[in-house]
Structure 1
C-alpha cells in the first residue's frame, strides 16, 4: 500500500474517533474522501463540512465504486453489505491499523498504548510538540479542546499516534518512541485471558524500531519482559522511577508540580485540568518532549496552555456551588482514578456518579471492579448497558453491578435522569462511560 499513490479512499465507519483522524489525514493531502456510518454525529457533520461525502444507509448504490482503497473499522460486522461488495469486486480493503502501519514505517513515530491513559498522553505529547513549534502529525483517539480536532498535519516528518489494543491492531505499528501506560485486563472478548492481553502489550514493545525508546509506567506486571534498546520508567511520585512528579500542589481544580529525572528536572510546571492521574500523564509527555530536545521554557509554556480532551475529566460546569465533570471512563481503574481525583480536588462535596456500562462482556468480566470503584462515590445512578457491537448476554445487565455497590444506587433511563436532576441538588456531579451517555452532557448543563 503506497499512501502517496491513492487518489480516492472510502471509509466504512468513518465517524469513529480513530477512523475520522485517518479520513482527515487523507483529506488534507487532497485525496477524495467519502464514506458510510450508521448514524450522523457532531463529528460526521464536521467531516462533511470539511468536504467529505458521507451517507448513513448501508447501500451499495451509494458507495464510491471508483475508490483506490477501502478502510474499515473492526467494529463493522463481516456481513456488512458495502464491505462485502468491495471484497467481491477485488478492491483493496484494509483495516485502520494497516494505514497507521504504513505511516509509522515512513515517519518518526511516537505511539502511545495502554488499557487507559493513551488518549490523554498522546494528545498531551502532540500538543507539546505543536505548541512549542517542534511540529508533528497527530492521530488521536479523542477531540483536543485546544484545536477541536483529533488530527492535525505538519511538514515535520514526525507522527504521534494513539495505539489501540482492540483487535490487536497496535501490533502492526513500528514506533521509534513507544509509551506504555497500563496493562490492566480489558477486551477479554478478544484476548480471552488477562495473560494473553499482557502478552500482546509485551509484543508491542518488541516492535520498537532498532535503537528506539520505551517509556513505560513504573510497576507494570511482567515489566522484566518489556523490550527496548532504551527503556525509561515513569511514575506519579515514586522516586525509584526514572521520571516522576515532585512537589505537587492542587490549585483551582488543576496542579502545579516539578518533573524530576535522574539527569534533569523541570520545575514550576502548571497543568490546568483535573485528575491526579493527569499529573502522571504529564510526566510522560514532558519526558518525551525533553527527549526530543524541546527547551524547558517551551515545555513549560506548552503544558500550561493545554486545555485537555473532550470527555477526559472535562469540566462542563465549574463554579462555587456546582461542579460537573464528564469523562470517558469505562474501566474500573479509570473510574477509580476519576472519582478519587474529583473528591480530592473538591473535598466535602457530596459526589454523585452517573455511569453507563459499556459492553455486556466487559460488564460480565469486570462487575466486581466496577462496583468497588463506584462505591467510592456517595451516590450512584446506573444507566442500562450500552451494547455497542455486542448482542445481549443472558443474565448480564446493570443490575449485576448495582447489587454489589455499597452506597445508595438506582438504575434509571436517560430521560429519568434528567427529570431527577431538575429537583435534586448535586454539588459534585460526574457522568462517565464510553457509550452514548455523552448525549446527556448538554441537557444536564442546561439544567444545572
Structure 2
C-alpha cells in the first residue's frame, strides 16, 4: 500500500489513545482526517480543537463526501468495533482499503529505523521515555505512543522521517505486523486471555515477535524473561541500576553497562518498575549510538505520562495520584511506589475493573493485590467491548478482598465518598472511564485542601 496515494483517512474508533496518535500523524503530514467514536472524551475534544472532524453517531450519512472515494481513502478500524457497526459494514461492503492500527503502523515504519516496545506492562511509559530521549538528543524521530506525555501534551513526539518508536501491542497479535530494527520486551505476564486462551499461547506470540529482531544484540529484555537478548534490570542484568537511593523525591542510581559505569543518573518517576522502564530506554538508545551522558540528561527532564502514576494534587496533607493500572502486576507496582513514598499516610485506593473477562480471569490476583491497600473502594466493571457475564460483578470481586476497609461505590456517589474520606493519599486506578472523572476529583480535592 502506498500512503502517498492516500488523500483521506477515516478512523472508526478515533478516540482511542493509539488511534488518535495516528490521526494526529496523518493530519500533520497533510491528509484529510475524520472519524467516529462512541462517546466524547477529553481526547476527542483535543482532536476536534486540532481541526479533525469527529461525530458520535454510527450513521453512514455522517461519513463525509470526501471519504467516500475508495480510490484515495484509507479506513483505520479498532478491533473493539462490533461486527454490526454500520459505518464499518459500509466500507467493507463497498471495497474500501481497511486496516487495523497495527497494520498502518507497520506500513508507516517499514522504511524507517523502527524501535518497538513490547510487553504486557510498561509499554507506554518505556516508549515515551525512549521517544523523549531520542528527541532530546537530536534524533530525527517520530514516536507513536499509547498515552499523553507530560510536557508534550500529546501522544506523538517529534516529526522525524527516518526513526520511529512504536508500542508493539500483543492484543490480537497486532505486534506481528511491525518491522522492528531494535526492540525490547518489558514483561510477558498473562493477559488478554479472551484472545489467547492460555499463558503458553501468549508466550509463544512474544517469542514470534522477538524472532522478528534478527540481531539479538538489538533485542532487550527484562532480566528473568525466558528470551535470548540483552538483559536489563534493577540490580541485575547486562544493563543494571545499582546503588539506588531517593533524593528529594528523585531516584538516583548508577548504571552499569557491558562497557562502562555511569554514576548519579536522576529519574523522577516513582516505583522500581519505572527504573526498569528507564533502563530499557537507556539501553536501546545507548546501543543505537547515543552517549550515556546525553541519555542521562534527557532522563532527568522526563515528566511522565498522563495516567501513569500521575500526580494530580501534591500538597501538604493531600496527595492525589491517578494510574492506568488494570492488571494485578500493575496494581502491585502502584502499591510499591505509594508505600515507598508515603509510608505513614492513610491511603485510599479506588479501582475500576476493566472488562468482565479480565476481572473473571484474574479475580484472585486482583483480590490479593487490592487487599494490600489499607482502604479500597471498587467501582462497577467498565465493559469496554464486552457484554456482561453472569456472576462477574464488582461485588463478587469485593467479596474476595480480605481487607476489612472495603466498599462498593457507584460513579454517581464517588465524589461525595471522596469528600467524606479522611485519607491523605488518594489513588484512582483503572483503564476504563474513571480517567474521565480525574478533573472533577482534582477540583474537589483542590477546593477541600
Normalising to structure 2: TM-score of the pair? 0.95
Residues 296-322 of structure 1, C-alpha deviations (whole Å, 9 max, x = no match)? 332121111100000001011112211
Contact 2:269/2:304 (<8 A) preserved: yes
Partner of 1:273: 269
- In the alignment, what sits opposite 1:426? 423
Does 2:92 correspond to 1:87? yes
Distance in 2 (CA, whole Å) between partners of 1:194 and 1:282 is 27
Aligned mates of 1:142, 1:323 — CA distance in 2? 22
Partner residue in 2 for 1:306: 302
Contact 1:175 1:209 in 2 (8 A): no
Give the unaligned 5+ runs of structure 2. Answer: none
CA RMSD of aligned residues (A): 1.4
Alpha-carbon separation, structure 1, partners of 2:185 and 2:109: 17
Structure 2 residue aligned with 1:365: 361
Determine whether 1:25 maps to 2:3. Answer: no
Give the deviation of 1:266 after TM superposition: 2.2
**Equivalent residue number for residue 386 of structure 1:** 382
Q: 2 CA distance for matches of 1:155 and 1:17?
A: 20
Task: Indicate yes or no: 2:283 matched with 1:287.
Answer: yes
* Cα shift readout 1:165-187 (whole Å, capped 9, x = no counterpart): 11110111110111101110010
Contact 1:375 1:406 in 2 (8 A): yes
1:54 Cα deviation after fit: 1.2
Which residue in the other structure is 1:338 paired with?
334
Looking at structure 2, the residues matched to 104 and 87 of structure 1 have their Cα atoms a distance apart, in angstroms, of 25
- 1:342 CA drift (Å): 0.8
| Correspondence for 2:441 | 444
- After TM superposition, the structure 1 = structure 2 runs for residues 171-182 of structure 1, keeping only pairs within 5 Å, are 171-182=176-187
Cα shift at 1:412: 0.5
> Following the alignment from structure 1 to structure 2, what is the Cα–Cα distance between the partners of residues 51 and 266?
45
Q: Which of residues 110, 115, 127 is equivalent to 1:110? A: 115
Q: Secondary structure at the match of 1:39?
A: coil
1:259 paired with 2:259, answer no
Measured after TM superposition, the shift of residue 432 of structure 1 is 0.2
SS of match in other structure, 1:168: helix
**Residue in structure 2 matched with residue 190 of structure 1 by the alignment:** 195
**Number of matched pairs:** 439
1:74 aligns to what? 79
Question: Post-superposition shift, 1:209?
Answer: 4.4
Deviation, 1:398, is 0.9
In structure 1, the partner of 2:412 is 415
Query: Gaps spanning 5+ residues in structure 1: where?
Result: none
Residues 8 and 209 of structure 1, relative CA distance in 2, 3 Å threshold: farther
Deviation of 1:20 after TM superposition, in Å, equals: 0.7
SS class of match (1:336): helix
SS of 2:120's equivalent in the other structure is coil
SS of 1:106's partner is coil
Q: Secondary structure at the match of 2:245?
A: strand
Separation in 2, partners of 1:257, 1:42: 37
**Of 133, 151, 171, the match for 1:128:** 133
Query: Any conservation in 1 of the 2:135–2:157 contact (CA below 8 Å)?
Result: no
Given that residues 137 and 153 in structure 1 are in contact (C-alpha distance below 8 angstroms), is that contact kept between their aligned partners in structure 2? Answer: yes
TM-score w.r.t. the length of structure 1 is 0.95
Encode CA deviations 1:81-139: one digit per residue, 9 max, x unaligned.
Answer: 00100111111111111111112321110000100001000000000011121231110
Cα distance change on mapping 1:211 and 1:313 into 2, 3 Å: closer
Q: Deviations over 1:264-306 (max 9, x none)?
A: 2222111122222111111111111211222233212111110
Alpha-carbon distance between aligned partners in 2 of 1:27 and 1:353, rounded to the nearest angstrom? 39
Distance 1:212 1:101, change over 3 A: farther
> In structure 2, the residue corresponding to 1:422 is in which secondary structure?
helix
- Displaced runs of 4+ in structure 1, greater than 2 A? 152-156, 209-212, 251-254
By how many angstroms is 1:210 displaced? 5.5
Q: 1:113 touches 1:180 (CA, 8 Å); kept in 2?
A: yes
Assess if the C-alpha contact under 8 Å between 1:257 and 1:269 holds in 2: yes
